[in-house]
Amino acid sequence: MSEQVEHLIRKEYAAGFHTAIDTDTLPPGLNEEVVRFISAKKNEPEWLLEWRLQAFRAWQEMEEPEWAHVDYPKVDYQAISYFSSPKSMEDKPKSLDEVDPKLLETYEKLGIPLHEQEMLAGVAMDVVFDSVSVVTTFREKLEEAGVLFCSISEAVEKYPELVKQHLGSVVPQKDNYFAALNSAVFSDGSFVYIPKGVRCPMELSTYFRINEQNTGQFERTLIVAEEGAYVSYLEGCTAPMRDENQLHAAVVELVAKDNAEIKYSTVQNWYPGDENGKGGIYNFVTKRGVCHTRAKISWTQVETGSAVTWKYPSCVLRGDHSVGEFYSVALTNNYQQADTGTKMIHIGKNTRSTIISKGISAGKSQNCYRGLVRMNPGAEGARNYTQCDSLLIGDRCGAHTFPYIESKNPSAVIEHEATTSKVSDDQMFLCQQRGLDAEKAVSMIVNGFCREVFKELPMEFAVEAGKLLEVSLEGSVG
């Protein structure tokens, strides 16, 4: 590959701007007072404060995990601010018209218009800016169908029973270090409830934006699909470019009751840091869903951002005949590090899971698949199929595969395969000989490599994801 290709235009991280806006930001530091402050700020009931405090106390006893194949300087948890909200959000705008135009402008700039008429038809959106939810669109339309879609803070106020019943039911407070931290200080996030037998009439989506400096984002998402319900949900994320690393520690819980189906897609484009590895988001996320009888949870993720990613969207296949799926594209460039994968815990009979993971490493990045497939003794007739492919671009990056396979049932069948390959000179030559430039050729080859995953994304986002890869790969050819 030619020299000059290396110097092909490096487009800026397009979402890297910062919105100058008056904010209410808690000074850095974490103690019980901070936890109480956040809870009070949100008018939370006593039980939730207690719940947070339990998590906080547990967190203090826990150690930051070190087993992942990532290497980053220790996070100073006292140097982070745990709450930041635009001042204009103080008096809770009732509708979009009351929202600070500067905020709306921010989303326009990100290519996400919030006025319903301008939005993608058929997609309702919850928008989270630093620690608070700015707006949720299409609410009336959803309410007609009985679907509840709002920020989690609002859900705590309006539907306390539903929240109380499910919060922490999938990811307990003390599940792991970052989940405990999140449980203590979670600020906002989305809540979705689909009643029995309802097929959610539109795609639901949440857009997360970190804006303020030195803040962490700790959102919490809870999706409950009652018997026979269906929902497709998508989240996207961006953050300004900064030289400091910022922390993002989210928790997502999915509950799919009997015969329900939840499709959860993520396009993660947090600021990855610059080409020298300076700055970027630490993305430490716990995502897990429980499937009851014949339920299905499907995780699809396209991970192109963040300096460090630590994330294993998982399925607990509790009910008989339940299905778990994980489709992932993780692209790392420059100095990014990703340790991501999934856990499929087969408990019920005839449970099925499919894992398709595509890792692309470029630059000096490290990209690691880590997965667990566990067949419990009761998982009669269970099946898993796993395919992990890695693509390396350049000779200074790393691609790793660490699958844990555990079986205690003789009738369970597990198949795991992994391969690595590179964008070969032959492929490049062919494309270039047909008139494509090197960058285009690489992006085409990479897109082909990811096809199996992209086809799982909702249509509009599949196109977005393809473009995102192209941008993220810029400067990777050399």
CA distances from 265 to 158, 203, 204 (A): 26, 10, 10
Q: Is 307 among the residues that bind other proteins (CB under 8 A)?
A: no
Residue 60 C-beta: closest distance to other proteins, Å: 20
Q: Of the listed pieces 100-108, 135-143, 313-321, 406-414, which binds other proteins according to CB under 8 A?
A: 406-414
Q: Which helix (H) or strand (E) holds 125?
A: strand 123-129
What's the CA gap between 178 and 191, in Å, rounded? 20
Residue 178 C-beta: closest distance to other proteins, Å: 18
Among positions 12, 43, 406, 451, the unique one binding other proteins when judged by CB under 8 A: 406
Q: Is 159 among the residues that bind other proteins (CB under 8 A)?
A: no
DSSP state, residue 121: T
Q: Which is nearer to other proteins, 135 or 442 (CB)?
A: 442
Residue 368 C-beta: closest distance to other proteins, Å: 9
Amino acid letter for position 267: V
DSSP state, residue 42: T
Closest CA to 127 of 118, 137, 117: 137
Q: Is 420 among the residues that bind other proteins (CB under 8 A)?
A: yes
Among positions 228, 324, 348, 403, the unique one binding other proteins when judged by CB under 8 A: 403
Rg of the chain (C-alpha set): 22
Q: Of the listed pieces 33-41, 79-87, 116-124, 404-412, which binds other proteins according to CB under 8 A?
A: 404-412
Q: What is the DSSP annotation of 355-392? A: EEEEEEEETT-EEEEEEEEEE-TT-TT-EEEEEEEEEE
129: tokens are 């800016």
Among positions 407, 443, 472, 476, the unique one binding other proteins when judged by CB under 8 A: 407
Residue 362 C-beta: closest distance to other proteins, Å: 10
Residue 44 C-beta: closest distance to other proteins, Å: 35
Residue 424 C-beta: closest distance to other proteins, Å: 8
Q: Which helix (H) or strand (E) holds 423?
A: none
455-474 residues in contact with other proteins (CB under 8 A) are: none
Residue 405 C-beta: closest distance to other proteins, Å: 5
Q: Is 405 among the residues that bind other proteins (CB under 8 A)?
A: yes
Q: Is 67 among the residues that bind other proteins (CB under 8 A)?
A: yes
Residue 356 C-beta: closest distance to other proteins, Å: 15
Interface with other proteins: number of residues (CB under 8 A)? 35
Among positions 79, 145, 411, 459, the unique one binding other proteins when judged by CB under 8 A: 411
Q: Which is nearer to other proteins, 165 or 419 (CB)?
A: 419
Q: Is 63 among the residues that bind other proteins (CB under 8 A)?
A: no
Residue 141 C-beta: closest distance to other proteins, Å: 40
What's the CA gap between 43 and 196, in Å, rounded? 30
Q: Is 273 among the residues that bind other proteins (CB under 8 A)?
A: no
**Per-residue contact string for residues 316-355; x = within reach of other proteins by CB under 8 A:** ----------------------------------------
Q: Is 262 among the residues that bind other proteins (CB under 8 A)?
A: no
Among positions 53, 62, 418, 436, the unique one binding other proteins when judged by CB under 8 A: 418
Among positions 293, 354, 409, 427, the unique one binding other proteins when judged by CB under 8 A: 409
Amino acid letter for position 24: D
Q: Name residues whose C-beta falls within 8 Å of residue 403's C-beta, 6 or more positions apart in sequence.
A: 341, 369, 370, 371, 372, 373, 386, 388, 416, 418
257: tokens are 């009751």
What's the CA gap between 204 and 195, in Å, rounded? 15
Please, are residues 147 and 262 in contact by the beta-carbon 8 Å criterion? no
Q: What is the DSSP annotation of 143-160? A: HHTT-EEEEHHHHHHH-H
Among positions 33, 90, 415, 451, the unique one binding other proteins when judged by CB under 8 A: 415
Pairing of strands 84-86, 23-25: antiparallel
Q: Is 176 among the residues that bind other proteins (CB under 8 A)?
A: no
Q: Is 64 among the residues that bind other proteins (CB under 8 A)?
A: no
What's the CA gap between 129 and 238, in Å, rounded? 10
Residue 419 C-beta: closest distance to other proteins, Å: 5
Among positions 199, 408, 451, 455, the unique one binding other proteins when judged by CB under 8 A: 408
Residue 416 C-beta: closest distance to other proteins, Å: 4
What's the CA gap between 222 and 166, in Å, rounded? 8
What's the CA gap between 417 and 103, in Å, rounded? 46
Dmax of the chain from CA atoms? 68
362-401 residues in contact with other proteins (CB under 8 A) are: 375, 377, 390, 392-401
Residue 418 C-beta: closest distance to other proteins, Å: 5
Half-sphere exposure of 166 (CA within 13 A, CB side): 26
Among positions 404, 430, 455, 467, the unique one binding other proteins when judged by CB under 8 A: 404
173: tokens are 């407070």
Q: Which residues pair with 206 in a beta bridge?
A: 126, 235
User: Applying CB under 8 A, which residues contact other proteins?
Assistant: 67, 375, 377, 390, 392-422
